[in-house]
Amino acid sequence: MSSVSRVSAPAPSTTRILLLLGPPGCGKGTQAESLARHFSIPAISTGEMIRGEIRAGTELGHLAAGVIHDGGLLGDDIVNRIVKSRLSQEDCAAGFMLDGYPRTVEQAHYLDALMTGSGLPQPTVIHLDVHPEHLIARICNRRDCPKCGAIYNLLTHPPLHDGACDHCRVELERREDDCETTVRNRLAAYEHSTAPLIDYYKQGNYLRVDGAAPAEQVFASILQMLN
């Protein structure tokens, strides 16, 4: 599989708007942090937006908190309004990167209309594509330090001392949901919900990147395509 394939070039603009798509464990968090730092734009996740509204005590925050407290899932209307509120903030003036939104084609239509109505370019979509078996191996070999939060991988980034954190020497732990059955279920749910979204975005500014490569190589490939 080629490391990067390009469907269409991003429209030239001084405003950088990026969307990150990819399955659980593909490295979106690492790439989001690197890209945000490189382009000096905020990396915004759905969870961050929702928590921000709740902390601020806004009307949207109260609505979201009520739904979450009752164990429900936030509908598109509330999520879309929260996205609109967040993207209107000053730090998004030169661009932004979204991770976790949109999740559906309907949300993608809303974002398109929001960008058009705000005079902003349509986003460039970065799809971190990783074969499911590679993801399963990556996630199931992940270990965390319960004290400092350092993350290791027994295959690609093992600790210097077997089973212990390099910094704290505390015994590493595996997350309960990092077992193979759970990971396969999560990947199946992702494919079911996200496949239509990827098909939708393939008609626009879409980059597919081999997310199985080392993080530095993935980042370099993304920059090469964006530039």
206 in a structural domain: yes
Q: Is 86 a catalytic residue?
A: no
> Percent of the chain scored above 90 by pLDDT?
51
Q: Is 142 a catalytic residue?
A: yes
Taking only the tens place, the pLDDT of each residue in 143-199 is 999 999 888 989 888 999 989 999 999 999 998 888 899 889 988 888 888 889 999
191 in a structural domain: yes
- Tell me the angle at which helices 132-140 and 180-201 cross, rounded to the nearest 10 degrees: 140
Q: Is 208 a catalytic residue?
A: no
Contacts of 164 (CB under 8 A, 6+ apart): 170, 171, 172
Do the beta carbons of residue 180 and residue 170 sit within 8 Å? no
Annotated catalytic residue within 16, 86, 138, 142: 142
136 in a structural domain: yes
The two tokens of residue 9 are 């070039």
190 in a structural domain: yes
Helix (H, G, I), strand (E, B) or coil at 21: strand
Annotated catalytic residue within 16, 86, 143, 186: 186
pLDDT at 125 over 70: yes
pLDDT at 3 over 50: no
Question: Average per-residue pLDDT in the chain?
Answer: 87
Annotated catalytic residue within 28, 86, 138, 143: 28
CATH of the domain at 178: 3.40.50.300
The two tokens of residue 125 are 């979509």
Q: Structurally, how many domains does the chain consist of? A: 1
Annotated catalytic residue within 51, 81, 84, 103: 103
225 in a structural domain: no
The residue segments making up the domain with residue 181 are: 17-40+119-219
45 in a structural domain: no
Q: Is 184 a catalytic residue?
A: no
Q: Is 28 a catalytic residue?
A: yes
95 in a structural domain: no
166 in a structural domain: yes
Taking only the tens place, the pLDDT of each residue in 98-107 is 988 998 899 9
Beta strand 43-45 with 95-99 is: parallel
Helix (H, G, I), strand (E, B) or coil at 212: coil
